[in-house]
């Protein structure tokens, strides 16, 4: 009787620790080892980032909504399908990421206004992204205005041409 009881306890204990093992195993497979940060080598000039990423992305955001007035009448322009909204969102987030690129390495001209103005671009891009997620035409329109202002502010101070 005693032996049977102990066998039961032992097997119960094995069973529980087995479960523990599985749980621990599941946890460890989900925990990604913190990889060593890869060495980042900035390649593009600010001008290339502007022409290659910022301007094309801004064009998509600016061009996605608005009112087109022509002889044919007034047409409200807005993304229609989920895919169209998502495409505008992708461009909005490209603006956010390009703001990250602008402060990487020695691209930041200084640690004050340049950083602030890059952040303003990132924030306006984030607002545009959220507006696309909410499928808000007005939201994209006003975020677009904020994006445009962030471009102008930085160019006024830093674009030498």
Interface ranges with ligand HEC (CB under 6 A): 46-47, 50-51, 54-55, 58, 95, 102, 114, 117-118, 121, 147, 150-151, 154-155, 158-159, 161
User: Please, which residue, 83 or 106, has the CB nearer to ligand HEC?
Assistant: 106
Look-up of token digits 């640690």: 111
H or E element in which residue 77 lies: strand 73-77
User: Please, which residue, 24 or 97, has the CB nearer to ligand HEC?
Assistant: 97
User: Please, which residue, 118 or 132, has the CB nearer to ligand HEC?
Assistant: 118
CB of 117 to ligand HEC, least distance (A): 4
53 Cβ partners below 8 Å, 6+ apart?
A: 94, 97, 98, 101
CB of 94 to ligand HEC, least distance (A): 10
| β-bridge mates for residue 67, sequence order | 76
CB of 65 to ligand HEC, least distance (A): 16
Q: Strand, coil or helix: what is 8?
A: helix
| β-bridge mates for residue 69, sequence order | 74
CB of 93 to ligand HEC, least distance (A): 13
DSSP labels, 85-127: HHHHHHHHHHHHHHHHHHTSTT--S-SSHHHHHHHHHHHHHHH
User: Please, which residue, 37 or 89, has the CB nearer to ligand HEC?
Assistant: 89
Distance CA 149, CA 133 (A): 22
CB of 49 to ligand HEC, least distance (A): 8
User: Please, which residue, 78 or 115, has the CB nearer to ligand HEC?
Assistant: 115
């Amino acid at each position: 009787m005693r032996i049977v009881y102990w066998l039961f306890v032992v097997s119960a204990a094995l069973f529980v620790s087995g479960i523990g093992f599985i749980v621990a195993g599941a946890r460890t497979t989900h925990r990604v080892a913190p990889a060593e940060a890869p060495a980042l080598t900035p390649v593009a000039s600010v001008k290339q980032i502007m022409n290659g990423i910022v301007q094309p992305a801004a064009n998509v955001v600016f061009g996605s909504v608005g009112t087109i007035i022509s002889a044919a009448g007034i047409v409200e322009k807005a993304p229609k399908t989920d895919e169209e909204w998502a495409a505008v969102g992708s461009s909005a987030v490209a603006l956010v990421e390009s703001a990250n690129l602008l402060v990487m390495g020695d691209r930041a001209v200084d640690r004050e206004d340049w950083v602030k103005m890059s952040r303003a671009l990132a924030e306006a891009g984030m607002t545009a992204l959220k507006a696309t997620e909410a499928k808000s035409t007005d939201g994209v329109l006003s975020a677009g205005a904020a994006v445009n202002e962030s471009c102008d502010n930085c160019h006024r101070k830093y674009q030498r041409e």
